Amino acid sequence: MTRIAYVFPGQGAQKVGMGREWAERSAAARRTFEEADAALGEPLTQLCWEGPEEELGLTANTQPAILTASVAVLRGLEEEAAEQGWDVAPAAVAGHSLGEYSALVAAGALDFAEAVVLVRRRGELMQRAVPAGVGAMAAILAMSAEDVAAVVDAVAAGAATGADRGEVVAVANYNAPGQTVIAGHAGAVERACELARQRGARKATRLDVSAPFHSPLMAPAREGMAPHLAAAALADPRVPVVVNVDAAPVTGAEAARDALVRQIDGPVRWVESVEHMERAMGVGLFLEVGPGTVLTGMIKRIVGDARTLALGEPRNLDKLRELLAAG
C-alpha cells in the first residue's frame, strides 16, 4: 500500500473562488466555511468566493482564508473517501509556513475554529512587525541553496561595518532545488539580489509581498504570537507532523507548539521536509490539500519521480481514484 502524505499550502496560494466547488459538492466542506465565519464573526466565506482580490490578499485576511479553504478540501476529501471506501489516511502531514496550521488541524492536534482565530492574529502581527516599505523578499532562481546562503552571508558581513549597518537579510524559504527565497531589509535584499546575479543566478527578483516573512525582522511577531500559542489547546497529533523549522516530524503537542512559535522568524525548510517524508517515512504519494498547485510543482522538483496530486478542485478526485487503484 502506497504511503500518503497530505501537504498544505501557505500564503500565495489564495485566489478568489477557492473552495467554492468543494462546498457545493460536500456538506462537510460547506460547514467548514460556516464555522470559519462564526469563529471570526465576519463573512470570510464571501471574501474567499467573491473577493475583492485586493482585500483577500491582505495578510490578515489571506491567512485565515487559505486555512479555511484547505480544511474545507480536507473535510471534503475525507467525506468522499468514506463514501467510496478509499483508504487515504496519511502517514504524515506537513504544511508550507501558514500551511502548518492546516496540517495540525488534519492531524487532530488543533481545533479548526481555534486555528482560524490564531492565524488571523498571526497575520495581523506579521503585517505590523515591519513598517510598509522597510522589508522585502526576493526569489533567487537557478542557484544552489548553499550559494544563496553564501551571498546572504556576504551581504550581512558588509552590513556589519558599512553605512547600512544593522540591516539584515536571511534565507527565508528553501522551496526547491534552484528556488530559494530571501528576506530582510529592502536595501539588503536588493544588494543580495545584485550579488546573486553577479555570481550566476539566472534570476533574482523581488516578490510582491507585504512583509519580510521568515526573517529575523519577524521577531516582534514571534514574541507577540507566543502567548496566544501558549494559551491554545493543542493535543498530540494522531499522525506525525513534519514541521518547517526543523524539517523533522513532531508527535507531541508541546513540540508542535514550539515549532509554530519558531517558524515565524525561522526559515521554511521545505526541501528537507519533503526529502524526509519520501526517504525516511516512505511516502510515495503527496496530496496537496488546499487551493492551488504550488506545492505539487515544488515536490516534483525535489523528488523527481514523486507521485503528486493537487486536490484544490474536486474534479481531480477521478485522478485520485486512478492513483489509488494503481497502488
One-letter identity of residue 274: V
Strands 248-250 and 283-288: unpaired
Per annotation, catalytic residue among 96, 185, 214, 276: 214
**In terms of Cα–Cα distance, which of 290, 313, 311 is closest to 105?**
290
Q: In what order do the strands lie in the sheet with 283-288?
A: 248-250, 241-243, 92-95, 3-8, 283-288, 307-310
Helix-, strand-, coil-residue percentages of the chain, each rounded to 5: 50, 15, 30
Burial (Cβ within 10 Å: 0-12, 13-18, ≥19) of residue 46: exposed
**In terms of Cα–Cα distance, which of 232, 244, 211, 234 is closest to 99?**
244
CB 272 within 8 A of CB 145: no
Sign of torsion over alpha carbons 103, 292, 169, 300: positive
Per annotation, catalytic residue among 70, 97, 210, 215: 97
214 is catalytic: yes
* Cell output for 212: 519580510
215 is catalytic: no
**In terms of Cα–Cα distance, which of 178, 166, 106 is closest to 139?**
178
Active site residues: 97, 214
